Structure 1
Amino acid sequence: MHTTRPDDGALETVTVRYWAGARAAAGVDEERVAEVTTVSALAERLVAAHPALEAVLPVCSLLVGGRASTGDDPVPAGAVVEVLPPFAGG
């Protein structure tokens, strides 16, 4: 996976923030991912970089700019994507 440093403005990136079990599976709180255009392409890149996410991502909600998104939904450059596993409680 190609990630960038925060000061690298040359590539179009999205910021991915992990929560709870997704954070544990990814091993990071947040990262930047370059040059992805859809939710499914982003998910593939995340699993390639963090294999433990393969078991977690199917049950997670991916919020792009605060909206639940799946499959071919677009991920615009500069977006923030939140990876939220199901939460217990009520």
Structure 2
Amino acid sequence: MASSAPEPGTVATRHEPGRDASASVTVRYWAAARAAAGTDSDSQAGDTVGAVVDAAVRSHPDLERVVRVASFLLDGRKVGRDEPVAAGATVEVLPPFAGG
């Protein structure tokens, strides 16, 4: 019978029920997103940009209409909702801008 013990020199990790394994990230809101959230930034948890944005919408329901048309930056790089995030990252919510 095989042992479930980790190999020497490795760390065993597992998700424990009731423990959030998602990363805590800073979310910055710009323009209409800032108005909808009522703040410049806050912290949200999630393991992808989409999960972080969904958490932000749960915290600030008026954001829902904005994030449908927004772009997202992860640490200054344009990304999609499926992009993984790490603890300490920054996600920025950028609604469409008019003018130039």
Smaller-chain TM-score range?
0.7 to 0.9
Where does structure 2 lack aligned partners over 5 or more consecutive residues? 1-21
Normalising by structure 1, we get a TM-score of 0.80
SS class of match (1:31) = strand
Answer 1 or 2: higher relative contact order, Cα 8 Å, separation at least 6.
Answer: 1
- Aligned twin of 1:76: 86
Superposition TM-score, scaled by structure 2 size: 0.73
- Which of the residues 40, 47, 55 maps onto 2:65? 55
Indicate the structure (1 or 2) with the bigger Cα radius of gyration: 2
1:21-42 Cα offsets, whole Å, 9 max, x none, are 00000011110123x1101111
Aligned residues: 79
Q: Please tell me the root mean square deviation across aligned C-alpha atoms, in Å.
A: 1.5
What residue ranges of structure 1 are gaps of 5+ in the alignment? 1-10
Q: Share of identical aligned residues, percent?
A: 57
SS state at 2:68 partner: helix
Give the deviation of 1:12 after TM superposition.
Answer: 4.5
